Amino acid sequence: MSAVVGRVMGEGFRVFFLSAGLYGVFTGLVWGIWLAMQAGGASMGEPSYAMSPAMWHAHEMIFGYSTAALGGFFLTAVPNWTGAPGARAAYISAAAGLWLAGRMAMWFSASLAPWLVAAADLAFVPVLAVKIASQLLRRPKPQNMVFLALLAFIWTANLMTHLEWLGLTGDTLGTGLRAGLLTLCSMIAILGGRITPAFTRNAMKRDGEPEEAWPVSVERLEKTSLILALALPPLILLFGAGPLAGALALLLGLIQVLRLARWRARWALRQPILIALHLGLGMLALGLILWGMALLGIGSEVGALHVLGIGCVGGMTLAVMSRAALGHSGRALVAPPPMALAYGLMAAAALLRWVGAEFGGIYMAALLATDALWVAAFGLYLVSMWPALVGPRAAKSG
């Protein structure tokens, strides 16, 4: 047992990707139980958290689950980008403890002072940012340093939710939640725009595809996407989710469509672990377009936000976590069949949640089915990735 704990705490991707999977199941089950009781006319009694169940659910998806996924990604990727030594086990354990303390504080917030809840929940991201900043400064490149700004936007968005719960502001909760989600989407637009064509190109090269068939990235589109992705979160933080943010999101979504069209998604269909990246970015494009239209008065904003939250953030984190877990544990980059199914279930959940928001007659049934698909997807992720996250590195063949 001690060997397993030491292994899990010895590499950032292990403890944080495991925590993300477990928390994805936990939050899904809690939300599903509440929905089922609401549908049946039953009462859960007083919850252990201070906010409404819907606000706890929204907050923990954005600032709980997603920050665990970010922690695992950055602690694994940044040393590869810069050549810096990976974080030591002591740091990883302390950072994981801070993340867990935030989750516990939110869960028991009804019994805790609001300032204590805020302090516990806001502690993890700065500690993560300081660590990756120290690593990025070894080889400071602007294209990597931008992630520090995005982490600052996420932290500020979370602060805005707590300021309202502290009674210091009257209307910053909704803005904080939207800004947090759209900051995650901006990260995915930037990171996904790097890794998706690169991984597709590498796979096509290994298969002997001619160079003219490889993915193509157009510099003008890439720069425009970067600028828009970096502009959207602070725009929401400063001015809220209004028509200007809607227009910018709509434009960014259309840019994503143009980028994806050149990245050979049809060829990637033969490899689930690869097409999952394209699918996550496709959900990003769709969600941004739907959200932009909703802010301009066309369609449901709630439905659009869930396409982004479930399809883009949920789908892309599953794709990246599974790929990184396999690769960094010495395993082949081939998604096991249950993992491939999980990718599809997450995309289906996003579309079903949008349908439920647009067609009120099936709203509650769609919510319950969406939640079931979410829990199933994360259950399959945990089953598929458990050996990679908890077990020893795979022995090299040959």
Domains annotated for the chain, with CATH where assigned, are: 2-390 (1.20.210.10)
pLDDT confidence band for 40 (50 / 70 / 90): confident
CB atoms within 10 A of CB 262: 14
pLDDT tens-place string over residues 180-202: 999 999 999 999 999 999 999 99
pLDDT tens-place string over residues 114-144: 999 999 999 999 999 999 999 999 888 888 9
CB atoms within 10 A of CB 230: 18
pLDDT confidence band for 179 (50 / 70 / 90): very high
Mean pLDDT over all residues of the chain? 95
pLDDT confidence band for 227 (50 / 70 / 90): very high
pLDDT confidence band for 2 (50 / 70 / 90): confident
pLDDT at 46: 84
* Residue 72 burial class via C-beta count within 10 angstroms: exposed 0-12, middle 13-18, buried 19 and up: buried
Q: Residue 165 and residue 177: Cα distance in Å, rounded?
A: 13
pLDDT at 396: 55
pLDDT at 394: 86
pLDDT at 397: 42
Q: Encoding tokens for residue 146?
A: 């931008």
pLDDT confidence band for 398 (50 / 70 / 90): very low
pLDDT at 140: 87
pLDDT at 41: 82
pTM to 2 decimals?
0.96
pLDDT tens-place string over residues 341-383: 999 999 999 999 999 998 878 999 999 999 999 999 999 999 9
Q: Residue 128 and residue 125: Cα distance in Å, rounded?
A: 5
Q: Residue 366 and residue 349: Cα distance in Å, rounded?
A: 9
